[in-house]
Structures are given as structure tokens and as C-alpha cells.
Chain A
Amino acid sequence: MSFTDSLMAGLSLVATFEAFFALFAGICIGVVGGAIPGLSATMAVALTLPFTFSLQPITGILLLLGVYKGGIFGGSIPAILIKTPGTPASSATILDGHPMAERGEAGRALGMALWASCTADLVSNLALILFAGWLASFALSFGPPEFFALILFSLTIIAGVSGDSLLRGALSAIVGLLLATVGLDLVYGTNRFTFGDPNMMGGLNFIAVLIGLFAIPEVIAMAWNPTAHLGKARTLGQSKVTFADYRRSFKSIIRGSLIGVFLGSIPGIGAAPSAFLSYSEARRKSPNKENFGKGEIEGVAASEAGNNGVAGATLIPLLALGVPGDVITAIIIGAFMVHGLQPGPMMFLLNADIIYGLFIGLIVSSVFLFLVGSVAIRGFRFVADVPKRILMPAVLVLCIYGVFAVNNNIFDVGVMFAMGWVGYLMLRYQVPAAPFLIAFILGPLLEDNFRQSMLMSGSDPMILLRGPITWFFWALTSITIFAIVRNISRKAAI
């Protein structure tokens, strides 16, 4: 079957009302689900899954993909408005999005988040359609040593999000790394800091830590001084994103999209590190470097491009290899299987019509995302107008429900409260929270991949330098560290 034939077959498959309606409905569900902290894109996809069993395969899968894409964007709404990331992927958006909202520019930040998301989504989908085969073979050359080198490099992001003191940033990161060791050991299955509590054996729930670290300190800080916010402009402001903003951030958006595509096509990394990496790269290259973390619109654009760039690209390993890149695509694979479809190289031959149908649907999804997102922003912006001393108790209650819903476990609510006090202490002592979060995500990956490499080689450290990919990332890491050290010594000299 030629390319045009496949394309026509795909078109005839998707060009139905149901397929587009499912995609549209999926994006709506996703945006709302992502906007509710704790519900997150993952849960929204899992909840939608049973409905797809009775649908046509392509309709069902488009529904799930819609939820996925909508959810990743939706997460940025509470991140900007109430400093609570709706999905882990949107935690980088907080860094600049929330300061903008505090300044009365919530509308502008949300608008930029949407524009960046849609652009990145489009880039990501195009990458999937054009380079799926090539990127997939690349993904399979990532074993534990390559992962180790990549993650080591990603940890250098910490320097980019540490604010004015690198040492305090490093301290924050180390606390994150330490807390991430709680749970069962990967290789021996023994207990680490679990104190015999079965709830601790699973490790600290990531979303509980995340929400505890960002949202709860706001509530506590308000108890310390309930009137601190008075006099600051916090009306939603009719501020809107302008085309000039978009053009100024365009480079960062494209860079972020490409980072997203690259990290998304490698199974097992996910959207949050990608958002942080994109953010720190944008900061490094930007002329307004000093303004990052204080409400710089380019920062919002970069983080949102970074996380939405992943969304299309995670389908690369899924479709081309049958390998799920993250939890969400693992659930989507379930939908394929229920319909008797087996993602993998053979699917491009056996079910080419479905593959091309999906591609067409995906391209349309970027447009739908823009439409639904615009409406959602208008709907949610009123949150910025709610009096803060009504909003804060509401955020607290919402977080309790949301964190419980993640794993149906009251213990996680306790983790969130405890992390709230840690976060508050860090706030008082001016220790930035972002390095903690990056370390908490990447720490276990670093350790696990290191130990898997050691198992593979029989404890020979040379395996960590086994091929060009590892050399590349080691070189990148060295260059970055060299640049950081030079910066510090320059500052010291002045």
C-alpha cells in the first residue's frame, strides 16, 4: 500500500462525526481533569479507559489521546492560578506562572501557556509522523548506562533553578534525593527508612510531595501573616497574551518542543524533567536571565512547550515498538490490546489505516486543544479574583481530596501536610523548592540506572562509558559544570 493509499484509508476511518467528537470530548475531559490537582492527566486517562471498550478502536484511542493532551495543558491552569500543579508535568510552570498571577497577569500567563502548549503539541505530532521509525530505533539504544549519563546531565538543571544561591539550591536538591530513598530497595528488596510502616514501603507518593511542597506552604505562610497580600495587585486583570510575547518566546518554545520530542521518545523519563530542562535552557539563553523565577513570560512558554512536546512523542515508542514511555501510555496500550491491536512494527503493515487515522486525528487535536483551552482559560480565570482568605482554605480542602484520590490512601494526605511544613521552612530560609523537586524525580532514576549498569557489567565502572551516547552526555555534563564553576568564580572575583 502506498503512502497516499494509507493516508486515504486513514482519512476514511477518522472522517466521522464520532471520531472527532470523541477527540473533542477527550480534550475537554482532559483539561478539566488536569486542572483539578490530584486528579491529574494519568487518572483522567485511567477513568476514561473503560468507556473506550465499547467504541470503535480509532474512536476510543482518539478519546484517550485527547484526554492525555488536554490533561497536560490543563495542569498548568492551577499551577499558575493557585501554585498547585495539576499534573507533575506542570510543576516547572509554577516558577514563573504563579509570580505572574500574583502580579495580576494571570490571563497573560495562561494565554502563553496555551499558545506554547499548542505549538509544542504540533511540533511533537509532526515529529511523530515524520520521524517515528528513526527516533524509535534511537530509543532502543538507551540502556541503563545511557540513562545514567542523561540523568546526570539533567541534574545540572538544578544550577539553573537555584535562584541567587547555588549552595542553597544544592541543599534543597540533596533533601529531595534523601527523601526519594524511602521505600523498598530496587536490587535487594530490603527496607530503607520505612520504619516498618507498609505505607512507607511504596515510597513517598510523588504527587503528595509535589502538592505539599508548593501549595501548602502558601496556606501556612498566610497563617503566619494573614494580611501580607493586601495591597498587592491580584485582580485577574484583563491582561492578555500578545503576539509580540509569542514572537519573543518563539525560540524558547521551539527549543522546548524539541527537548520534549527527544525526551518523550525515550521510554521512562516523562514530561516533568523535560519541562525543567526546557526551562533551564531558556533561562540560560535568554537576555532577561535575571527576571526568570520572578514572573518572566518566556519561562512559562518554555516549561509548557517542554511538557507538551512530550505528549506526541511518547507515542513514538508506543506505536513503533509497543513500549509504553510512561504510565499514561501504558494505559493507552491497554486500549489497543482490548481491541485486539498490537502496537509494534507489524502494526504499520497490518493496520496502516489506523496508524494514519491516528496521525490525522493528532494533527486536528492541536487545533481542538487551542479552542478548548481558550474557553477553559476564560472559565477558570475568575479564580484569580476570589478573595485570598477564602481561596486558601478552599485550596487546602481541594488538596486533601485530590491527594487522597491519587492512591486512595489517607497516609498520602499526611505526607502532603508534612511536606507542607518542610516547604514552609524552606520558604522561610530562602531555600528554593524547584531543585528539591527535580532531585526527587531524578534521584531514584539515577540510582537505579547506576545499579542496573553495575549488575550488567559485574561492577565494572567502564560500562558507564560504553558508547557514543554516553560520551556525548558526559561531555555535555562536564561542559555545563565547567560553565557553572566559571560563573561562580567570576562572581566571587567581582
Chain B
Amino acid sequence: MSPKVIQFRLGMGACLAALFLAFVAIPMWVSSPSNVSNIVLSPTFWPYILTVLTGLIGLGLVFASRHSDTQIAIEDGNQLDDLSWFRLAALAVIMIVTMFALPRVGMVWATMVVFVLTAFLLRTRHPITALVCAVTIPLVLYAFFAHVAGVAIPQGNFVRLP
């Protein structure tokens, strides 16, 4: 991606977001009571100001992109392999599943699995260490947060720790 592409995409994104906010999001999801005495006090006043600013910045970025350099390509890290997108998707899936697992399975067990999966997703060079850490780190954190800090760490429906 060159700076030109970046500026242009960001600018277009901001313009679209401003339109979406102005015509869909604010009317639908910001409720304003009928007895508002003055427009500047309305709950929608500030969001609309922000919408206008978003639009202006978007236009500015699109305009600036016309003057940006197309030549300089920005490095996207070194050599990419085909699995990059796959790993991103896998990480997203891990996060979504974690959200479901935390209250049901319990935080300790869920984070152990998260640790192992992410470590191997990142192709760790120390698989044994990773496994050992995966078991000990959640346990140590649990012991600390639950027993020293007195936090009610979610325990789940199956195996409860003392």
C-alpha cells in the first residue's frame, strides 16, 4: 500500500461513516426526549457535531491523497506467507469462542486452551515451554486474582477450583 492508497481509503471510509451516522445511526440509536428546551442541550447535538467533523476529515484525507506520493510502497513486514489471512481468521475465531466459553467452562480452563492455541498459531519454537506455561500461567493468575485480590473469577458449570 502506498500513502496515496492509505489516505484515499481512510478518507472514503470516514465519509461513508459520516453519512451512515447522520442518516442511520444517530436517528435510530440516539434517543432524544421531546421536552428538550434548547438544541445545544439535546443528546444528539454532540454526535451530530462529531459526524460533521468526521465528514470534513474524510474529505480532507481524500483531497490530501491526490497530492500524496504513489511511488513509496510501505513495507508490510517482511516475507508474507499464504497463511497470514488464515491465521488472522483463526485468531478471530479463538476470540469469539473464548467469549462463549468464559462463563460456561470457566476462565481458568478457557484461558489454558487459548494459550495453547495462540502459541501454536504463532508457530512457537518452544512447544514444551508453551504447554507448561499454558497450564501454569492461568493457574497462577487465578490464584492471585481469586485469593489475593478477591476477584470473583468465573468458574463455569463443570470443574470448580477451590
Contact = CB atoms under 8 A, between A and B. Distances in A.
Interface string A181-217: 1000101101111110000000000000000000000
Classify the interface of chain B: helix, strand, loop or mixed: helix
Interface stretch (A96-104, A124-132, A223-231, A342-350): A223-231
B151 A393 contact: no
Interface string A429-465: 1110000000000000001001100110001000000
B124 A188 contact: no
Interface stretch (A307-315, A372-380, A405-413, A467-475): A405-413
A451 B41 contact: yes
Given A174-B50, A389-B123, A396 B99 contact: no
Contact of A400 (B6, B31, B114, B129): B114
A479 interface: no
Interface string B27-59: 001111100111011010011001001100110
B43 A225 contact: no
Contacts of A420: 95
Contacts of A430: 6, 74
A414 B102 CA distance: 11
Contact of A220 (B30, B50, B88, B123): B88
A236 B88 CA distance: 29
Contacts of B159: none
A63 B14 CA distance: 49
Interface string A387-424: 10110111011101100110010100110010011000
B149 A185 contact: no
B137 A190 contact: no
Q: Residue among B46, B47, B130 with the most chain A CB within 10 A?
A: B46
A450 B43 CA distance: 12
A227 B81 CA distance: 11
A455 B41 CA distance: 8
A414 B29 CA distance: 21
Contacts of B154: 404, 410
A447 B47 CA distance: 10
Interface stretch (A17-25, A108-116, A164-172, A281-289): A164-172
Interface residues of B, number: 71
Contact of A223 (B80, B88, B102, B144): B88
B80 to A, nearest CB: 6
Q: Residue among B9, B64, B103, B145 with the most chain A CB within 10 A?
A: B145
Interface residues of A, number: 60
Q: Residue among B43, B102, B124 with the most chain A CB within 10 A?
A: B43
A43 B29 contact: no
Contacts of A393: 114-115, 118-119, 122, 130, 133-134
Nearest to A177: B50
Contact of B10 (A193, A194, A408, A429): A429
Interface string B61-77: 10010000000001001
B91 A192 contact: no
Q: Residue among B7, B21, B103 with the most chain A CB within 10 A?
A: B7
B47 A187 contact: no
A382 B76 CA distance: 30
B121 interface: yes
B150 A47 contact: yes
B153 interface: yes
Contact of B102 (A177, A185, A224, A410): A410
A28 B39 CA distance: 52
A397 B114 CA distance: 8
Contact of B41 (A39, A224, A405, A459): A459
B57 A390 contact: no
Interface in A32-63: 36, 39, 43, 47
B60 A167 contact: yes
A224 B84 contact: yes
Contacts of B149: 39, 43, 47, 405
Interface string A312-331: 00000000000000000000
A165 B7 CA distance: 10
A193 B30 contact: yes
Contacts of A367: none
A401 B43 contact: no
B127 to A, nearest CB: 10
B122 A401 contact: no
B19 interface: no
A390 B53 CA distance: 42
Nearest to B61: A167
B46 A223 contact: no
A19 to B, nearest CB: 24
A219 interface: yes
Contacts of A193: 25, 29-30
A304 to B, nearest CB: 25
A415 to B, nearest CB: 10
A405 B91 contact: no
A178 interface: yes
Nearest to A44: B149
A222 interface: yes
Nearest to B85: A224
B145 A405 contact: yes
Contact of A389 (B84, B114, B124): B124
Contacts of B64: 167
A421 B13 CA distance: 16
A169 to B, nearest CB: 10
B119 A174 contact: no
28 contacts: A168-B10, A181-B47, A181-B50, A188-B43, A193-B25, A193-B30, A194-B29, A220-B88, A224-B87, A225-B78, A225-B84, A389-B123, A392-B118, A393-B114, A393-B133, A393-B134, A394-B115, A396-B114, A396-B115, A398-B137, A401-B141, A401-B142, A413-B98, A413-B99, A420-B95, A429-B9, A447-B46, A451-B41
Given A170-B60, A188-B33, A389-B122, 11 more contacts: A171-B14, A174-B54, A177-B50, A181-B50, A190-B30, A192-B30, A220-B88, A224-B87, A430-B74, A455-B41, A459-B37
